[in-house]
Amino acid sequence: MARVVEGFSPRRILWEVFLGLEKGIMEKDNLWFCLSCHLCMEVCPMNVKVSHIIMLLKNIAVERGKAPNGLLDEVNSIFKTGRSMPLSPAIDKRRAAFSLPPLPSVDVEEVRILMRKLKLPFNEGGKK
Ligand code: SF4
């Protein structure tokens, strides 16, 4: 990801953490460019768990209300529909074109129970 997104540098993120600047990291979008592909861990000669540290920083950012709006929209969509992206006739058509079966229904109440237990930042009032 660092090769294609200008300004995204896992190394820089770690340096800022070591220097106690993690508050500043949360103010930027950089963290959210990490795909959690773990390639950095595969190649690190010192076996640093880079992607785990970035995931931890993302979790802290969410707790502090610093998650990007797009992510919060997805979380709210999951709370509302059980899916990050609502189904649509266009999606059904595309699946059918690839001979894929329709997506199964989701037990939304079960999803909501899990989300409440995980204390995810969803908009409970906006569930209807
Ligand atoms: S897991 Fe590591 S290699 Fe993969 S995008 Fe995140 S920082 Fe980059």
Instruction: Give, using CA atoms, the residue closest to atom 4 of ligand 1.
Output: 37
Q: Where are the domains of the chain?
A: 10-63, 69-126
Instruction: Quote the ligand 1 centre to 30 CA distance (angstroms).
Output: 11
Using the mean position of ligand 1's atoms as its centre, give its distance from the Cα of residue 128 in Å: 37
DSSP string, the chain: -TTTSTT--HHHHHHHHHTT-HHHHHHSSGGGG-----HHHHH-TT---HHHHHHHHHHHHHHTT-S-HHHHHHHHHHHHHSSSS---HHHHHHHHHTTPPPPPP--HHHHHHHHHHHT----GGG--
How far does the centroid of ligand 1 lie from the alpha carbon of residue 90, in Å?
32
Q: In this predicted model, what pLDDT tens digit does every residue of 67-89 receive, in sequence order?
A: 888 888 888 999 999 999 888 89
pLDDT in tens, 92-117: 999 999 999 989 999 999 999 999 99
Ligand 1 atom with the smallest distance to the CA of 33 is 5
Q: Once rounded to an integer, what is the mean pLDDT over residues 25-43?
A: 88
